[in-house]
Structure 1
Amino acid sequence: MNWNLILLFFLLVVLILKTPAVIKLRSRRDTAAFYGFWGLAVAATILDIADLPQFRPLDWVRSIMELLT
């Protein structure tokens, strides 16, 4: 089995298991950070599967953190 598919499955399991806990926090900033980083991980994995050019993760993390502060 391909490692990227295993990673996508793991990310899906994390989303399903951790969404109730994130919603229970009642913090928009924490929820946005969780879904933002989760989305970045999924996007990076899909880009790797498709053999498309990769984005620089630190630039994306910095842009998300600037939105939240």
Structure 2
Amino acid sequence: MSGKMCSSSSSVIQAQKLVDQLRVEASMERFKISLTAADLVQYCQEHRRSDPLLTGIAASSNPFKDKKTCVIL
């Protein structure tokens, strides 16, 4: 019988933790997606000239470029 009580109190504690977590998440301030997306687009447009994914990396400054080429005879 004590096993049932332990299991029951354990599930009550677990449920209480879940309720507390959901309350914390519900009370968080949320940003509107449209505002966040607009900010992201503006940031990308302002920094596009320095974005290596858009402009590429100069071969002379690329640290990942192979130093030697592989030749198979």
> TM-score normalised to the size of structure 2?
0.33
More RCO (CA 8 Å, sep 6+): 1
